[in-house]
Amino acid sequence: MYVQVDVKPSSGSMVEIELVATNTGSNLALHWGALQPGRSEWVVPPAGIRLPEGTIRTPDDAALRTPFKNSGSNSTLKIEIDNQGLESIEFVIVDEAQNKWFKNNGQNFQVHMRPPAGHHHQGQQHSATAGSIGRKNRDVMQLLSKNASTNDQVNKAAEATPSKCTVLDLFIKSLQEKHGSQVLCKKVFKLGEKEILALMSQVQGSTKVHLATDHVEPLILHWALAQKPGEWKAPPPGIVPAGSTLLEIACESPFSDAELNGLHYQVLEIELDDDSYKGMPFVLRSNQTWIKNSTSDFYLDFSRRTAKSSEGTSDDSKGTAKALLERIADLEEDAQRSLMHRFNIAADLVDQAKDAGQLGLAGLLVWMKFMATRQLIWNKNYNVKPREISQAQDRFTDNLQSLYKMYPQHREMLRMIMYTVGRGGQGDVGQRIRDEILVIQRNNNCMGGMMEEWHQKLHNNTSPDDVVICQALMDYMNSDLDIKVYWDTLNKNGITKERLLSYDHPIHSEPNLKSEQKEGLLHDLTNYMRSLKAVHSGADLESAIGTCTGYTSESQGFMVGVEVNPVKGLPSGFPELLKFVLDHIEDKSVESLVEGLLEARAALRPLLLSSTERLKDLIFLDIALDSTVRTAIERSFENLNNASSEKIMYFISLVVENLALSTDDNENLLCCLKGWNHALEMSKHSDDQWALYAKAFLDRTRLALATKGEEYHDILQPSAEYLGSLLGIEQWTVNIFTEEIIRSGSAASLSLLLNRLDPVLRNVANLGSWQIISPVDVAGYVVVVDQLLTVQHKSYDKPTILVVEGVKGEEEIPDGVVAVLTPDMPDVLSHVSVRARNSKVLFATCFDPKILSELEQNEGKVLSLKPASVDISYREIPESELLVSSSIDTVDGQKAPSLSLAKKQFLGKYAISAEEFSDEMVGAKSRNIAYLNGKVPSWVSVPTSVALPFGTFETVLSDKINKEVSQKVKILTEKLDQGELGALSEIRNVLLNLTAPTYLVSELKEKMQSSGMPWPGDEGEQRWEQAWTAIKKVLASKWNERAYLSTRKVKLDHSNLSMAVLVQQIVSADYAFVIHTTNPSSGERSEIYAEVVKGLGETLVGAYPGRAMSFVCSKNNLESPKVLGYPSKPIGLFIQKSIIFRSDSNGEDLEGYAGAGLYDSVPMDKEEQVVLDYTTDPLVTDCSFRTSTLSSIARAGYDIEQLYGGSPQDIEGVVKDGKIYIVQTRPQIGGEELEVDELLDLQQLRRHILDHLRVYLVVVGVVVEVRRDGCVVGDTTHAAAAPLDCSPNIPILSSPAAARLGSHPAAALGGEAGCESSSRDAVH
């Protein structure tokens, strides 16, 4: 039902209010009154009102009741008011036939009759879904939860607080470690508060049975051997322990006292004589008291072998609470006896799980999930009363409730465990299952057949299957006794005929009921379902609401005398809100229902965060509300097929909110929610950027889902695999365990909605199906891989197109790869993107899963790929067409010269100022910064810099105070030379033990202070140690895996790599940016491309997920930047006043080798990670601020390019309080996109010049030579301009390439590396 309210002026001061209710019944009435300004009491009947026909006063004289008039499927009502003293009317709507009251979230609806003073209007229109709740206008961030720990913190905590070892744990350990025993099988049995361990081991061909117990009183083992189940056979005399007494079919052996680590225990050892025995039955005797396993014998099953990993020789248990999982496996046989046993065992294990941290709770969840999905036996040869099951559930969930109160960081995991377990309850909650089935049978005369068989099952081993059976019976009767419907409901919920027959009390028969029994049975089974769900269902909404809001039984024979009191302290209007939800639970249009569910969850949240009485009931209610949101959203998918983009975005916002309410660390999701709300407003106001903006939040939301999925996989999957192997769970079930956990939550629904919206947004924003990062026409064999990281150092022997699921941004492109296609979204200026462009590899992100799937299906085939601006066309070609292009460096039959590094020498200084930077002392990073200082425009700043020059590291390492470190590094380097790559991390760790010589400290202090930089040591010795540690990390990064393998790949001598350290004061950035002054994607030289992130630039140049804001700007119109994409990075890095130490090696800008970004830059202080809220970021929301900031960034890039004679630059910088700071610049590799014929021409020109020309620069007393290999020799820091001296014997070439070089032919001499950058202005 939908209600529309129109308020419009009539003649004079008359106001007319018209209400129209659509899709209604025939008995609606308006329960209403009027309000005066500043008053809350209704005026009844108000003067000046023409009361509509049929209006009556209510018996208490407090309101009016007016019937609606029916008109087809609509109902209408009109009220005329001529009284300026009235401000508004308030009302609720009543369905008098069903006694239903429709309210506004528990409050009255209110309609204002006149606008505020000073506002003119032609009429007002209000609309709402009938009974639709009005969402409270709360700040989204009120839903914030930041309790979760990272996986590393969780694992460290688990390692730091291991569960306390029992004497039985120590006993097993001693067997394995001291005696070398292999444990073949083991089992732990409960002896009240104590335990007995029985295990079989093997050592040096001898097989033994060991029994150990922490029981205090002396024990006698009454035992036998069995060659088949149930057999008691006396053991041979030769194997009985000393002091034993042989009986007819058994043997009695006394335990001996022992001690381990001060802990007392009793032990007994039996050596077996052959391997034909299947097991050992036994009981215990203490004095004259016999001790049994509940009512059965104890039994050690020799055939049930323990997984090898329990021997400590396997990594199967890595990433798990191993001891807990093995204990669960030991107790599983007992747990299979009944659900009562299982839940009691689980309750006993809660403390051990808690001690193991999140991994312990993950183990409990995996075990309970295996149970809930029927992978484990629920009942075997044991009759148990329903009330005993519900009491065991109650005990287990009470323990979980206690953890929920004490450990907020584990609430998400605890909710998931409780979801798999029914609510349970003390007293007669479970007993009603047993009693009420008798009432049903008696009332409806169905005492035999299937109903009697079900009755016997219910009496002795009720389970969650009974909820399904009850539903199947109800569906069967509602279908006019169609037996096919009965089986469809069972099978759809995982219950087959074989399962029905497998119960201890099997159900053989089908229902065979009569039509005259239908009405009574439906009535009674509907009531009975409440009892079943109260025990077995953790996510049933109706029973969860009833438990929290209270109810009194009214159905004779059912819930007799049961009265459940409401939970105290429920929010005002909360019961009415829950009633609204139940009234609309079956609505076809689910929007109002979902709004109501979410409003209920938001209202419930404060109670869930406190130590509320009956917290468990509220948790189960929240779980049920969450589950109902998911099922409602899934029900709406068909209706959304032709929905508008706004409608889909609104549903996405609802599901994101639901997911946030179920997540411990939900700040990122809440920022996504705010983004979706903002995108909706932009769309409603026809903002031309709405689709581009929404696409960024779609990408961020997808990233949040992927991150959550990875987190679940890391925490849960190892436990599923290890426990699954211990319990013999089918492998296919184990393989999809985490996937099924995700599918059962809101994340799966959200993913489907995002997939629906994505193509719409791409179409509106003209984004196409691809983002082309490196456009190259290629052909090759298709190979599908999961992660680029896993194949980055592989060499493919033929041209290969990689279709890759995951690309982080810092990987290398493998040899032989001609294309990388991925759904992942690395930044256009990320390391891997730059690598792809440098290597002329096609690199692109595909946004369309269908296209990506088609490409994957072509694995092994040869495809030709041709990129356009926003698309890639491809076709299959025969292998004969596959042509491998030769490298440009093989022109004229010559191979490119191999790369080499000249080892840098220590020139006697441990620290130098920027004025001393030279080619022999620092790398291009430092020299370029020094060159820019004083040359950039006044509105651009360059940070003050000093450096630790080349050779400093080697000199410090050779100092006698670091002799031990030096020796270790030498040994590890020899290992590395022999191919042991594990030595890399060892070298880095060893180097962190370097001690700084006093002369290094004093020189660095003097240079920093004289340059105006703060000296860390002035703040205390600890601050200097922080700085020195950061310096050592930079120096040690020479041995990081990526850098080492990269140099080896191009055959560079790693020992010749020298590392200088550039020291700069950190600018506490508002934004960081990277500029390429030639568009790297298109090669357009007239266009600047840049990416911007909030905070420090590490999230841009490092492997941080998400996209930066990207824009282009024409060099001819720097005032009009064009945004290509809004940011989707969830994390920003921020730091206060600090120092950063930047790597500056002699290999980072070597020609033909893109070494930039391989080595580390390390700040002295740790950056703060902040979850970014772009809805409050002016760069995103303020068009004027955005244009001004991006324009300034583009202008800075253009001006710096001009300082280098128009040579394309790769520039990094930051923005602080509107001011631009440049922190480094280097030549843009691949920036000059010349045509092939021009490249050939340039190659010839280059060789021609180097073969015939020696170029000299006049430099303040120093001669600088450009060698035949194009490298500059000498110090060019202070180079003065000198004309190029060309001999008349050397012909001057006239060519397109030469013309392109303009006034800077030095670009033809050596590229950007090896040649001093600042010398370019000296050559003309």
Q: Whole-angstrom Cα distance, residue 52 to residue 19?
A: 12
Torsion of CA 31, 37, 43, 49, to 10 degrees: -80
CA atoms within 13 A on the CB side of 247: 12
Q: Whole-angstrom Cα distance, residue 880 to residue 895?
A: 26
3-state helix, strand, coil in the chain (%, to 5): 40, 20, 35
410 is catalytic: no
For residues 727 and 329, the answer to whether their CB atoms sit within 8 Å is yes
**Would you state the structure tokens that stand for residue 460, as one six-digit string?**
């002795």
CA nearest 841: which of 875, 804, 891? 804
Cross-sheet strand order for the sheet of 912-913: 912-913, 945-948, 1059-1065, 1139-1145, 1162-1163
Q: In 1037-1136, where does DSSP find H-type helix? A: 1041-1049, 1098-1101
Q: Whole-angstrom Cα distance, residue 432 to residue 437?
A: 8
Beta strand residue intervals within 1059-1130, DSSP E? 1059-1065, 1071-1076, 1087-1094, 1109-1114, 1122-1125
Q: Whole-angstrom Cα distance, residue 603 to residue 143?
A: 10
For residues 1237 and 1222, the answer to whether their CB atoms sit within 8 Å is no
For residues 614 and 544, the answer to whether their CB atoms sit within 8 Å is no
Beta strand residue intervals within 72-137, DSSP E? 74-81, 88-95, 100-102, 109-112, 124-129
> Out of 831, 1054, 1076, 1278, which one is annotated catalytic?
831
Q: In 161-296, where does DSSP find H-type helix? A: 167-178
Q: Whole-angstrom Cα distance, residue 403 to residue 1108?
A: 40
Question: DSSP class of residue 1212?
Answer: E
**Would you state the structure tokens that stand for residue 911, as one six-digit string?**
């620290």
Give whole-number Cα distances, 343 to 137, 398, 711, 799, 1315, in Å.
42, 11, 27, 58, 74
Sequence-ordered list of residues with C-beta below 8 angstroms from that of 106, at least 6 positions apart, any chain:
572, 573, 574, 575, 576, 577
Helix axes 1021-1036, 983-991, angle to 10 degrees: 150
For residues 33 and 62, the answer to whether their CB atoms sit within 8 Å is yes
Long-range contacts of 1178-1183 (CB under 8 A, 24+ apart): 1179/1071, 1179/1092, 1179/1094, 1179/1109, 1180/693, 1180/1109, 1180/1126, 1180/1127, 1181/678
CA nearest 1062: which of 1174, 1201, 1163, 1202? 1163
Q: Whole-angstrom Cα distance, residue 46 to residue 85?
A: 10
Total Cβ atoms within 10 A of residue 457: 22
Q: Which amino acid is at 868?
A: A
Kind and range of the H or E element at 844? strand 842-846
**Would you state the structure tokens that stand for residue 767, as one six-digit string?**
């984004």
Q: Which SS3 state, helix, strand or coil, does residue 191 take?
A: strand
Give whole-number Cα distances, 142 to 86, 461, 569, 602, in Å.
36, 45, 20, 9
Pairing of strands 28-35, 15-22: unpaired
Sequence-ordered list of residues with C-beta below 8 angstroms from that of 597, at least 6 positions apart, any chain:
581, 625, 628, 629, 632, 658
**Would you state the structure tokens that stand for residue 1044, as one six-digit string?**
């080492």
Q: Which amino acid is at 1132?
A: G
Could you list the active site residues?
831
